[in-house]
Amino acid sequence: MVTRHARPAVLRRALAAGVRGFVPKTTPAARLAEIIRDIAAGSRYVDPFIVASALTEDDCPLSDRELQVLRAARTGASVAEIATEVHLAQGTVRNYLSAAMSKLGAPTLPHARLRSRGGTPIAAAHHAWQQGWI
């Protein structure tokens, strides 16, 4: 897998899916060709800088449902739209969003603001995306 998302959480998901090689997009072409030949011959390869980062990074503190609602929030969807997408009540979505924002240290918003598109916690969703969690 050649990716611009060379983050530890993405690496973990890729390995769980059976990927045999994981390199950042910035890998020089000559080195990439060597890696591809080695993988085709049966080897595995993971960029050593990503491995080092994966060993020191904390695991994701969010639950599967919190990740699910943040994934939907990242698009700018309103609470009502997220609720429809993930088949939950709007109040439940607000609770998951608030919990995720709290765990990530994102500023929490009054529930009234969470009801509108402008109050959707896109910053927390973006942080989770940058970490490779969603």
Helices (H) and strands (E) in the chain, counts: 8, 3
Cβ–Cβ < 8 Å for 73, 120: yes
Q: Which has the closest alpha carbon to 68: 49, 44, 87, 91?
A: 87
Number of domains in the chain: 2
- 95 shares its domain with 117: yes
Domain containing residue 118: CATH number: 1.10.10
Asked if residue 114 has pLDDT above 50, the reply is no
Confidence band, pLDDT 50/70/90 cuts, at residue 56: low
- 87 shares its domain with 120: yes
Residue 49: CB partners within 8 Å, gap ≥ 6? 24
Look up the domain containing 74 and give its range.
64-130
| Distance of alpha carbon 7 from alpha carbon 24, whole angstroms | 9
Q: At what angle do helices 64-73 and 122-130 cross, to 10 degrees?
A: 110
Domain containing residue 52: CATH number: 3.40.50.2300
- 76 shares its domain with 107: yes
Find the range with the poorest average confidence among 9-18, 32-41, 66-75, 110-119.
Answer: 110-119
pTM of the predicted model, to two decimals?
Answer: 0.55
- 41 shares its domain with 99: no
- 31 shares its domain with 82: no
Domain boundary among 56, 81, 97: 56
If one compares 46 and 13, the residue with the highest pLDDT of the two is 46
